[in-house]
Every structure is written in C-alpha cells, then in structure tokens.
Copies of this chain bind each other. A is one copy, B any other.
Amino acid sequence: MKIAIAQINTTVGNITGNFEKIISNITKAKNENADLVVFPELTLTGYPPRDLLIKKSFVKKNIEVLNQLVDFTENIAIVVGFVDEKNGNLYNAAAFIKNKKIVEIYHKIHLPNYDVFDEKRYFTAGSTTSLVNFKGVKLGLTICEDIWIDNGPAYDLKKKGAELIINISASPFHAGKEKIRLNVVAKQAKENNIPIVYCNLIGGQDDLIFDGRSYVINCKGKLVQQSKSFVEELSYVSNIESKNEIAFIENENKSIYNALVLGVKDYFRKNGFKNTVIGLSGGIDSALTAAIAVDALGKDNVRGVSMPSKFSSKGSISDSLDLAENLEIPCDVVPIKDIYNSYLKTLKTQFANTKFNVAEENIQARIRGNILMALSNKFGYLVLTTGNKSESSVGYSTLYGDMAGGLAVISDVLKTKVYELSRYINEVKGKEVIPVSTITKPPSAELREDQKDSDSLPEYDILDPILKAYVEDDLGKEAIIRLGFDDAIVTRIINLVDRNEYKRQQAALGLRITSRAFGQGRRMPITNRWKDD
C-alpha cells in the first residue's frame, strides 16, 4: 500500500480554500499511484477554529464540503479531518473516504484542554476506536492527543487487530517539542509493536506555529521517514518495515528561527497584508525582528524607521542604518524632538512642579508608536512590534508605545535567546546582517539620559533563567530560590511579572516558540493579590 502524507498548510475558516488544497493533493497523489492520502487534523476548518465552532452555519458548511469531497475520491482513499455533528454535539473527527464513499467516521477520544488547547469547550469525546479494512490491511484511526495516551487508543487498536496506525495531528511547535513529540509517537509504536504514520499540520495560525515534520515510525519505534519542517510537503511511504532508521536532527536555533519566519509569513499572507514597517532603535530586538521580517516577506516589503530623540545614542541611528543597508531595506529617519517638545509645551500647566519621570519617558515611546501607526494607516503596512519575552515578562516596555503593532514577532524569545538567534543569523548568512555593534553594546531603552537596561533589571543571564522558572515552568518562589538565585531578586522579579499582566493583556498577538508563551496558553487574572512568599 502506498500512502501519501499530505502535510499541508490549512487556513482557519477558509473551508473552501482548504477543500481545494485537499483536492489538489489528492490529484497529485493519484498521479503517483498512491492508495491513500492522509491529511492533518481538522483539515477542512483549519486548526484551531476556536469559537467559530459555536456558529452553526460554520459547522454546517464544513459538513457540506466534506460531502462534496467524497466525489473526488474515485479509485483512491483519504483520511481527512472535519467537525462532525450528531444530536447537537460536536466531534473532532476523521473521515475515511474510499472510492466515493465515507466508510468510517472516527471521533477523537482524548480532547486536550490545557495550555493553548480548549477542545472540551467545543467537542464531545468519542468513545470507541475505529478500525478500517483497506487493501487487506487493518488501519487504526487516531487524532493528535489520542497517540499521546499510554494504554490508550493505540493499545486498544492493536488489541483489536490493527496493523498500522494513522494519526492526523495539529501539534504546535515550541523549542524542544520536536524531540518530545517524536519520543511519544515512537514509544507508542514500540510498546504496541505497530507502525505509525503521523501527519502533522504546518503553518502559522495567529500565535501558534505548526512545524509539520510528519513521521513514519516502524513497529520497533524507529523513525524511518520524516517530512520537512515548516513547509508543505506531499511525501509517500510504502513497505514501512523494510525501511532503514533515519537520524532525527535537531537544531534549536534553526527551528526557532524558521518558526518565527513562518509565523510572520503566514500571519501576513492569511490576513491579506504584504508590507511591514518596523521601528528600528539600533538595538538588537528590532534588528532581529527586521531580519526575520525580511526573510518572511522579502526585502521589498519591509521598511525601517529610525526615530531618534535627544536621549538617543549616536549608535541608535548609525546601527539602524547599517542594519537597513545589510538587509537592503529603506530606513526613514524621523526625529521626534519637535513633537516631544510640543507635548511638553501643551502639558506645561499639568506638569508644572513635577520631576521628569516615566511620564516623559513614555511620551517619547508613544510618539514613536503613533508615527509607526500613522505610516501603517497611510500606506497599509502592518507594524511589527519588537519586544522580547524578558521585557514583556517584567513590563519593561511602553503600552501604546513600543508595544504598538499588529504582531509581536519575538515576544516569546528571552533576551539571551535574542542574542543567540542574532549570532545564528550572521553565521548562517555568512555575513554581518545584524551589526556587530548592535550585538555588543549594552542594551538600553534610551528614554532618559544615560539609561541602561541594567539600571532597572538584573543582568539578562540572571533574569532569563528566573523568568523561565517562573513563567514557563510555573515554579513557586521557594523552588526558584532553591535553583540558586537570590531571594530578593527572585521576589522582585516575580512581583514585576505579576504586576504587568495588564500590559500583556493589551499586547499584540505574539508568536509562540516556548512551552508557555504569554497569551491564550497562560491565563492569569489581572486582579490578583497572590504573593508567593
């Protein structure tokens, strides 16, 4: 049996577009004499459709289109994901369609309802596993989470006589996830002595980035075939047990970088945007963001803006212009001095007898936000924000200022990782893309005289592991101190993280590349008097 693994990039809500993509993959697979084509989870609706599932017209349309799809399966079989509806209940479902007939519908049994997943909000869990006899082989159907469960559906299917398990997934990327996921699927194959064809989604959907990397694993739990990461691919497999084990290759920086590029690319493409404008400060965050944008959108679609103030260092402009030159993008220089002075003049009465404080600092950041948004509104650019996860965690950023924009590219990347990725880019490009002086100078917001990040925050090699422990691993204060950090610093940092929840809840959507990004995967109250001490 020749199986085609259609690792495709669906779009949420675009039922007709997803349908067309399915048909085009069926046609290709037919030309290659495939017997069966496997598509990712919820192929027709895209994943995750979220509250679109509450709209009856949406669910109805997906079922109509499923029925149209049946006509395109002459002399071939497909496994396709859709939303099934029975007696008012919805199911995350897989249809096995063969030669113009739906021969089996499987309802996902294990519904994830943690982290970024809300499947119990919408779906009723299925209760029985599904076996399909196809060309003399007993195929077991599973959907995503099903394969993560020990003694779960895979075990049950094997007991019922399954000879091959098909899994259709929408398993989002985070750094390190590839390896975890492979281990899980391989363990199921090995423990149940059954090969698994695992088809994963690729593509960016808001904060989530699906990496593809579909696996074929033999009954000994060995990886024998793997689709590419972060791109669509239609690949084929037959005679699984005759294939040799291949090496699983992992390069964290490469994965993260490619994930971010795909996240930006798909956010623009799927939302109908083409161009971006980015505020360049001469610092490393905006430099990395611009480099990612150029790889995602092409240099002709990226415009930089340097907006110096009287507190800006010389390097602020020159490093921005160097970056723009390296990336071959235009960079406007728009000084904000006059606008800033007119704010101070206008607010003279209100600010009389007060000292320069965060108010004056933030006025500058918000002038920059206003300028970028004005360019956005004038020319249809989407503004990318440039804040990193360390800043976002402790609130070292200005709401409506540097936080203004449509997509936060590196808001899930800790500052130390921002440096790593920047060096990685220069390395893989084989030239200085991100100016060396941008990488080596001490980071600063440049909103007051001689300001440095280190005036307000511990060094990033202290800050970042504390943030990882608190935000990503949900450790309490005691547990973090036991990792070897200073009590006072830990207390201060976790208070800052808690206190700045209100800012993050107004932040632009941020691309998720860790196991716990801010956003839908971390649902903290703003009104929160919890003090872990």
Contact = CB atoms under 8 A, between A and B. Distances in A.
Interface of A: 11-15, 17, 48-52, 54-58, 113-114, 118, 120-121, 204-206, 266-267, 270-271, 332, 334-336, 338-339, 341-343, 345-347, 349-351, 354, 357-360, 362-363, 366-367, 369-371, 373-378, 399-400, 404, 406, 474, 476-479, 502, 505-509, 520, 522-532
B530 A15 contact: yes
A294 to B, nearest CB: 21
A363 B370 contact: yes
Q: What 3 A-B pairs are tightest by C-beta distance, nearest first?
A: A57-B476, A13-B530, A14-B529
Given A121-B114, A400-B366, A400-B404, A527 B11 contact: yes
15 contacts: A11-B527, A15-B530, A51-B523, A55-B476, A57-B477, A58-B476, A118-B118, A266-B527, A332-B350, A334-B346, A338-B342, A339-B346, A342-B342, A343-B370, A363-B370
Given A14-B530, A357-B377, 4 more contacts: A12-B528, A57-B476, A270-B527, A373-B399
Contacts of A57: 476-479, 532
* Candidate in A349, A362, A528 with the most chain B CB atoms within 10 angstroms: A528
B49 A374 contact: no
A502 B358 CA distance: 28
Contacts of A378: 350-351, 354, 357, 359
Given A346-B334, A357-B377, A508-B506, A270 B51 contact: no
Copies in the complex: 2
A338 B332 contact: no
Contacts of A406: 502
A48 B530 CA distance: 13
Contacts of A341: 342
B400 A373 contact: yes
Contacts of A520: 523
A50 B12 contact: no
A48 B524 CA distance: 10
A346 B350 contact: no
A378 B377 CA distance: 29
A109 B509 CA distance: 35
Nearest to A378: B359
A13 B101 CA distance: 55
B50 A370 contact: no
B374 A362 contact: yes
Contacts of A360: 374
Given A366-B369, A404-B400, A502 B506 contact: no
A349 B338 CA distance: 15
B271 A526 contact: yes
A477 B61 CA distance: 13
Question: Which of A58, A267, A347 gathers the greatest number of chain B CB atoms within 10 Å?
Answer: A347
A128 B399 CA distance: 48
A418 to B, nearest CB: 23
B343 A374 contact: yes
A525 B359 contact: no
Given A205-B527, A270-B527, A532 B55 contact: yes
Contacts of A370: 343, 363, 366-367, 370, 400
Contacts of A526: 206, 271, 509
Given A363-B374, A508-B506, A509-B505, A525 B332 contact: no
A471 to B, nearest CB: 11
Contacts of A350: 332, 334, 375, 378
A317 B332 CA distance: 37
Most chain B C-beta atoms within 10 Å of own C-beta, residue among A48, A54, A267, A341:
A54
Given A476-B56, A530-B58, A359 B342 contact: no
A374 B474 CA distance: 34
A362 B270 CA distance: 25
Contacts of A523: 50-51, 118, 121, 520
